[in-house]
Amino acid sequence: MLSVVMPAYNEAAFLEASVREVVDGVRGWGIDFEVLVVENGSTDDTPSIADALARDVPELRIQHLTEANYGAALRSGLLLSSGDVVVTFDVDYYDLQFLKQALALLESTDGGEEIQIVVASKRAVGARDERAPLRRFATTVFDAILRVTFRIRASDTHGMKVLRRAPIVAFADECRAGPDLFDTELIIRAERAGMRVEEIPVTVVERRPSRTSILRRVPRTLAGLARLRVALSNEER
């Protein structure tokens, strides 16, 4: 079974169309699936739209969190999911073609080593990042920090991912880096545990402005990375 986890914060303008596109697309594949929308702390009509959708779409489940926290929403969706494979989509960033390719990769036995996570990379060879220049620059700097500080092999850690639930869910409660870094910490911990992470290059188009400005997000992210580095160093000792 496939679980599609979609965090939603103030997504009234996009939620219904995005959910219906994902549901209609996956239905056509003839597989068992569910979609979990984790609404977290929205102040617009997102909660009521989500609940109305759930009454109309049988594959849809809704969870409401009181705090606006993207990382907590991802963690909660992962833990709540019923599928043996989980994909994380944002309401404004999802790609069914990527999902189809990633599922095929998970089923492959290339090299005899089972793939645990497939990441949609904005920075891999063949990818196209059509976001604003400042956001592209911030991603470049962020990924450079990850490579130098954490020796991470993946070229991207934010955005869409497809993962095997059973081996990954154990890391969910260990992740403590905060709302912006849950998925990054998950990838770091998976790599350190020797799990195989593969990437698929994707095209990223900005459908709406970021919910948090770069000027606010950068200091928070840097502080989170520093705390994560200390925490992982303490665990190693």
Residue ranges per structural domain of the chain: 2-236
Stated pTM of the model: 0.91
Q: What whole-number percentage of the chain has pLDDT above 70?
A: 95
CATH architecture for the domain at 2-236: Alpha-Beta Complex (3.90)
What would the pLDDT profile of 7-23 be if each residue is shown by its tens digit? 999 999 999 999 999 99
Of 231, 211, 219, the C-alpha closest to 90 is 211
Residue 213 has pLDDT above 70, yes or no: no
SS3 196: strand
Residue 95 tokens read as 């790609």
**Mean pLDDT along residues 217-231:** 81
CA distance 62 to 7: 10
Q: Which residue has the higher pLDDT, 172 or 102?
A: 102
Q: How confident is the model at residue 211 (pLDDT cuts 50, 70, 90)?
A: low
Q: Name the token pair of 45.
A: 């009509």
Average pLDDT over residues 19-38: 97
Residues in the chain: 237
Q: Which pLDDT score is estimated for 138?
A: 86
Pairing relationship of beta strands 161-164 and 85-88 according to DSSP bridges? antiparallel
Q: How many CB atoms lie within 10 A of CB 219?
A: 9
Q: Is the pLDDT of residue 237 over 70?
A: no
Residue range 17-31: mean pLDDT, rounded: 97
* Residue 227 CB contacts under 8 Å (≥ 6 apart), including other chains: 176, 177, 178
